[in-house]
Structure 1
Amino acid sequence: MSDRHISRRSVLAGAIGVAGLSTISRLTPTFATDRAPSRGFLWGCATAGHQVEGNNINADFWVYENVKPTLFADRSGDTCDHYHRYEEDIALTAMLGFNCLRLSIEWSRIEPEAGNFSEAELDHYERVLETCRKHGVAPFVTYNHFTTPRWFASRGGFTTPDSADLFSRFAEKATSRLGHLIEAAATFNEPNLLQSVFWRKKSLAGSPTALQMGAAAAMATGSKQFTTFYSGDPVIALPHYLSAHEMAYAAIKAGPGDFPVGVTLAISDEQGVGPNNLARLRQKESYGVWLSAASKSDFVGVQTYSRNRTGLHGDLGPEPGIELTQMGYEYYPQALGATIRYAAAATGKPVYVTENGIGTEDDSRRIAFIDTAIAEVKKCIDDGIDVRSYIHWSLLDNFEWIYGYRPKFGLVAVNRTTFERTPKPSAWHLGAIARNGMAR
């Protein structure tokens, strides 16, 4: 049966089942309760505000998407319309068998102009988190998932000395309203990507199109500069990001709420090839300072998709003829075990797997990827490593930044015209594992 027909029937037998959006309101989620389980193992899936909510017009990336020239293959537009359909998506998350949803709160919505906080948007995110709790879905909140307000980018983003103060002010305001509903939180999503890209010396920020896009964005916003996560100078921005994490951590921990706070990092399995290879140097420069920051937090979030092969002169890329995903990564799900072990040893902190997944049109390969990755998680737990979650990227096929809508990471397909949600076989497969837990 093809995926387009899956939503016409429902099979809720634990391991396999499919249901379309039209049936969600008639089903009782398996984990329905007044409050999500606290501090248990989190089986979940992930979203990010700009990638699923739609029409995030006050964000820096919205500007980038809508100027010419642009690096973005598509405009985000309505994307999945999750902003208006969050209740259906959270109900679907619970129905599939997950007890956690990772989501981000959009700074650009909450503080659309500097110092002007929107009570209406805080109300919105409060309703989102309350809906998670109603369905027994623990909300894992990311305070910054790449995007920032356009006013913040127009003044230099995280390259300015007071950027940490501004971010921690936002974190304090958001926590004061939302903290009592949060299960776990991350200050930043993958801030170390700047160091990883800098190591490769292949930064998109220096390409002719990127420079023209930045100039067009500055002109469109009436500013002299326009600095986003992608375009910031990593040498200048790094100390401000580190300070922002530290200050936001303190602001969030001040409450209300009592929940773990950390930072999520993009970590690949770094494998050296040949004598005198640079793999350890690459590892140190890509992750070192942020693993140190995580060691002073409550946990480290591990986000792994593949491995890197490094030789004597640097990055080697995937081996010829190897299976690649839609993102050009090597299909290598076993990388997750190595990155969990590395992060745990480097920080001495609990590990939350906050992203793991694959961009592919072939859902059977997604299922195989999930099985291998979870087997690695089980091995780590069996070896005594404190692993507290497996959160899959992503819940929905969504807007994948400069790559647009082509890469398909979702457990659930989204019709771009009607917004109908159709769970893929992988959604039910992973949901069954989540319901039953890892076999012992």
Structure 2
Amino acid sequence: MKEFFWGVSQSAFQFEMGDIFHRNIDTRSDWWTWVRDPINLKTGLVSGDLPEEGINNYELYPLDHSLAKGLGLNAYSLSVEWSRIFPCPTYGVEVEYETDGNGLIKAIKITKDHLEELDRIANRKEVEHYREVLLNLKKLGFKVFLTLIHYSLPVWLHDPVESRERNLENENNGWVNQRAVLELAKFAAYMAYRFGDLIDMWATFNEPAVMVELGYLAPYSGFPPGVSNPAGAKKAIINIVNAHARAYDAIKQFSGKDARVGIIMNNIHTTYPKDPDDPRDVKAAEMSNFFNSGFVLEAITKGNLNAEFDMETMTKVPHLKGLDWIGMTYYSRDVVTHSEVRFKEIPITAFKGVPGYGYSCLPNTLSADGRYVSELGWEVFPEGLYNSLEAASAHGLPIYIMENGVADSKDILRPYFIAAHVAQVERAIESGIDVRGYFHWSLLDNYEWGMGFGMRFGLYKVDLITKERIPRKESVNLYREIVKNNGLTRRIRENYLGGGKP
């Protein structure tokens, strides 16, 4: 596989905190507020585990980078925590902007004076910290992929508890509020201004549909703000699309027109109909796929905005178009069947998941298809990765698999999981699909959002008391062998895949 990136991925909130003296905690994000909310704790929406007891990547990043280097990796993906850089609001840095006939923000005028103003209110300690992290990655020879938004937001932009209590009728209501578009553009410009010389690949968002579906339509999910508000969900996803476009512009403006700006989507065409011979189930799968990724990708690759959420009524909005590469996350599939429209405001929700498949399985069992199921209840379905790559390739852009992994504390499933999914990557490349990278989630056990520390995705186990990184030897050695040989070896195929190709 020519010029292929092998890497690992991490996010700031899940990895950074955990030094024993609690010196480097970040109390200014929405997730910090969310996981300690008494109502969430009482109802069991969150685990009670706290991120400040985590793995301390903030201080131990040189060790973690060296572990990644020891695997032979040539790329590393991470995010920055907006609330660390700007713990206080940036509203006072006022920028001029222009809206279109649809009420969307068409252009934002950001100048060097705005960046200098932002620089004066930024947390200089955190800016310097992130620069040191990035410099260390570059020193070790990694290509650096940086994501701006991996779920978490500053609490001054999104107060999740107040948003829940007031059902989004508050001012600091995150992506429901159009001013978030302006604020992200300013943040993106500042990141490009400060770190543009150290970043090889930019991503605006990680899994934006997850934030919308789980935060605004599934109050049982444990994601902030924990409401069922379809009107708010529609506003949020449209504002996210708009924010991507304006952040894309800002990065290009201050990091150079050659900067590569992408987005990382979940579930690109990984929903399957329960009965492929039933047209209603086939349509249900099409709706699920459009809801999870098609809506965003249509807008930012073709300038087609489906504001009616019906998969048909497209409004041409050329200024939303802007994407240089597609990132994807893949863990499992979804299997759906036809249902009545779940939210009348969102016509494309005429589908429901089928228990026993994909993400809807009982942990440590076999799925309804007889597939292995992880500790998190996610079915191992490697061929879904090929289907996803095939669908993504229709957009004509380079593709990077930015997350792929399994919750497996005993390292029983992981070796097979890695080998089987890399086999699908090779299959895709052999069929002519432009796949350029594979990033394992994750190097280390970490904080799995509302579920806390219970789910173990790491190639390395982390002792939360001592912070020691302990290799899960079979998976570590397997991934190292794959990277060294730039793909699967005969030994791996024979030992893990029965000697054949998928």
Tell me the TM-score range normalised by the shorter chain: 0.7 to 0.9
Partner of 2:330: 304
1:379 to 2:427 alignment: yes
Partner of 2:202: 185
SS at match of 1:353: strand
Partner of 2:396: 348
Say which of 148, 161, 167 aligns to 2:184.
Answer: 167
CA distance in 2, matches of 1:80, 1:230: 33
SS at match of 2:382: coil
Partner of 1:144: 149
Deviation at 1:193, TM superposition (A): 1.7
Tell whether the 8 Å contact from 1:147 to 1:228 is kept in structure 2 after alignment: no
The letter of the residue matching 2:379 is: E
The letter of the residue matching 2:176 is: T
Say which of 416, 423, 430 aligns to 1:368.
Answer: 416
1:58 to 2:106 alignment: no
CA distance in 1, matches of 2:412, 2:460: 14
SS at match of 2:479: helix
Segment of structure 1 superposing worse, 326-335 or 151-160? 326-335
Partner of 2:244: 245
The letter of the residue matching 2:79 is: S
Deviation at 1:283, TM superposition (A): 1.2
Say which of 105, 126, 130 aligns to 1:121.
Answer: 126
Partner of 1:72: 46
Tell whether the 8 Å contact from 1:90 to 1:137 is kept in structure 2 after alignment: no
CA distance in 2, matches of 1:418, 1:197: 34
Deviation at 1:194, TM superposition (A): 4.5
Deviation at 1:266, TM superposition (A): 0.7
Tell whether the 8 Å contact from 1:122 to 1:174 is kept in structure 2 after alignment: no
Deviation at 1:293, TM superposition (A): 4.0
CA distance in 1, matches of 2:202, 2:456: 26
The letter of the residue matching 1:419 is: K
Say which of 193, 206, 218 aligns to 1:204.
Answer: 218
Tell whether the 8 Å contact from 2:405 to 2:440 is kept in structure 1 after alignment: yes
Q: Deviations over 1:84-107 (max 9, x none)?
A: 111111111111211111100110
Tell whether the 8 Å contact from 1:157 to 1:228 is kept in structure 2 after alignment: no
Matched-pair identity in %: 31
Deviation at 1:362, TM superposition (A): 3.1
Tell whether the 8 Å contact from 2:419 to 2:488 is kept in structure 1 after alignment: no
Deviation at 1:133, TM superposition (A): 0.7
Partner of 1:324: 373
Question: What count of residue pairs does the alignment treat as equivalent?
Answer: 382
The letter of the residue matching 2:249 is: A
Partner of 1:27: none
Say which of 96, 101, 104 aligns to 2:79.
Answer: 104
Deviation at 1:286, TM superposition (A): 2.1
Q: Deviations over 1:230-289 (max 9, x none)?
A: 999311211111111001111112233543111001116221122121211221222212
SS at match of 1:143: strand
Partner of 2:297: 291
User: Which runs of no fewer than 5 residues in structure 2 stay unpaired?
Assistant: 18-24, 91-120, 160-171, 302-321, 340-351, 358-366, 490-502
Deviation at 1:78, TM superposition (A): 3.2
Tell whether the 8 Å contact from 1:358 to 1:366 is kept in structure 2 after alignment: yes
Partner of 2:136: 131
The letter of the residue matching 1:357 is: G
Partner of 2:353: 315
The letter of the residue matching 2:5 is: L
CA distance in 2, matches of 1:292, 1:300: 12
CA distance in 2, matches of 1:106, 1:196: 22
Please show how residues 205-220 of structure 1 align to structure 2 within 5 Å. 205=219, 207=220
Q: Deviations over 1:117-168 (max 9, x none)?
A: 1122111111101000111122111111000111111311111121100011
Partner of 1:265: 265
CA distance in 2, matches of 1:386, 1:413: 33
Deviation at 1:294, TM superposition (A): 4.7
Tell whether the 8 Å contact from 2:445 to 2:460 is kept in structure 1 after alignment: yes
The letter of the residue matching 2:13 is: H
CA distance in 2, matches of 1:229, 1:395: 33
User: Which runs of no fewer than 5 residues in structure 1 stay unpaired?
Assistant: 1-38, 215-226
Partner of 2:173: 156
Q: 1:204 to 1:310 in 2, by over 3 A?
A: closer
The letter of the residue matching 1:437 is: N
Partner of 2:9: 46
Q: 1:194 to 1:110 in 2, by over 3 A?
A: closer
1:400 to 2:406 alignment: no
SS at match of 2:157: helix
CA distance in 2, matches of 1:436, 1:272: 37
CA distance in 2, matches of 1:43, 1:294: 27
Aligned-CA RMSD value: 2.3
Q: 1:229 to 1:180 in 2, by over 3 A?
A: farther
Tell whether the 8 Å contact from 2:218 to 2:227 is kept in structure 1 after alignment: no
CA distance in 1, matches of 2:143, 2:190: 21
Deviation at 1:299, TM superposition (A): 0.8
Tell whether the 8 Å contact from 2:217 to 2:227 is kept in structure 1 after alignment: no
Partner of 1:223: none
Q: 1:322 to 1:191 in 2, by over 3 A?
A: same
Partner of 1:86: 61
Deviation at 1:322, TM superposition (A): 4.5
Q: 1:95 to 1:89 in 2, by over 3 A?
A: same
CA distance in 2, matches of 1:332, 1:411: 20
The letter of the residue matching 1:97 is: G
CA distance in 1, matches of 2:388, 2:147: 21
CA distance in 2, matches of 1:229, 1:95: 44
Q: 1:184 to 1:122 in 2, by over 3 A?
A: same
SS at match of 1:328: coil
Partner of 1:24: none
CA distance in 1, matches of 2:9, 2:124: 25
CA distance in 2, matches of 1:170, 1:108: 11
Tell whether the 8 Å contact from 2:266 to 2:328 is kept in structure 1 after alignment: yes
